[in-house]
A and B are shown apart, each in its own frame.
Chain A
Amino acid sequence: MLLTKWRPIEVQRKFKSEFDRLFEDFFDNNGFKTSTDLFQVSPRADIEETDNEYIATLELPGLDKKDIHLNLENNNLVIKGEKKTFKDVKEANLICSERSYGNFLRSFELPTTVKSDDINAEYKDGILKVTLPKAEEAKPKEIQIKVK
């Protein structure tokens, strides 16, 4: 028997990749690839597609625009940020806490390329809406069939 040093980080890494795979299989929306890291906050998302663009809608209530970071990495839309705790009430005691706080990160692999310069993002009523126009070559084109 070979004795190796126990490295807890390996256990954590293995667990994380198993978990990611579980999520991928579980949320198998037509094989759409998305990943969410094991953070405290996991915002729900919808992605819609039209001929010209993708529209990603994420639920991020109670954030400051400056706490949301959007990136496009290799055709993956990456949204990350931090949801801060409620500090307005002084000397308040907690009875029940269901809402989540902390960091979040979600990434979505887009099926076709997009025009990175024309990406538009709005944050209203706790919803982050990202509009990503498709690159010209990715738009569906009608091909005329000539019959001889």
Chain B
Amino acid sequence: MFEQKSTKETLENGERNLIAPFADVYFSKDAYHILLDMPGVSKDNFKVKVDKDELIISGYLGSGDKQEYIYNERFYSGYHRHFRIPNDVDVDKIAAHYENGVLNLTLNKREEFKPKFIEIN
């Protein structure tokens, strides 16, 4: 269902060293929820795209003035990850919320796929 794909990729804007952000995926009766750790990306540097049954998420870190590094663990310039969207999701109702470096995506299920209680007369 939710397959993980790709880590480093070369995109249109030239060489970019992108890593796949860590994700937590939950489901409830109404929706799927994906939480991604993408610290350092500001709101305007996100791209969340739906292409057929794929959800593609990208976020870029600002370039800023880099001084001399005496210690460097963050060698990448952004994040990139794909997910396959399950077929009970209503792609027109995907919501995204970003706070404190965490991107929270809600993939709402289509009405007919939400569990319903049947009344017994």
**Residue B22 interfacial (CB < 8 Å):** yes
Q: Which residue of B lies closest to A97 (CB)?
A: B24
Assess the A62–B101 pair: CB atoms within 8 A: yes
A50 touches B72 (CB 8 A): no
Choose among B23, B28, B33, B69 the residue that contacts A47 (Cβ–Cβ < 8 A): B69
CB-CB under 8 A for A125 and B35, given A34-B71, A59-B74: no
Q: Chain B residues with Cβ under 8 A from A100's Cβ?
A: 22
Chain B contacts of A97 at CB under 8 A?
Answer: 24-25
Q: A95-B27, A96-B25 are in contact. Are A27 and B73 (CB under 8 A)?
A: yes
Place the interface of chain A in its size category: 35 or more
Instruction: Point out the residues of chain A lying under 8 angstroms from B2, CB to CB.
Output: 95-96
Tell me whether B18 is interfacial, beta carbon within 8 Å.
no
The chain A residue sitting closest to B1, CB to CB, is: A95
- Give the interface size bracket for B toward A: 20 to 34
A28 to chain B, nearest CB (A): 10
Q: Is the interface of B mostly helix, strand, loop or mixed?
A: strand
**Chain A contacts with B in 43-71, Cβ cutoff 8 A:** 44-50, 54-55, 57, 59-63
Contacting residues, chain A, for B39 (C-beta < 8 A) = 59-61, 125-127
Q: A99-B22, A126-B39 are in contact. Are A61 and B100 (CB under 8 A)?
A: yes
Cα distance A40–B67 when bound, in Å? 30
Residues A59 and B40 in contact, CB atoms below 8 Å apart: yes
Q: Is A94 an interface residue (CB 8 A)?
A: yes
**Cα(A83)–Cα(B71), bound, Å:** 24
Q: Are B101 and A60 in contact (CB under 8 A)?
A: yes
Give B residues with C-beta under 8 Å from A. Answer: 1-2, 22-29, 32-33, 35, 37-42, 66-74, 99-102
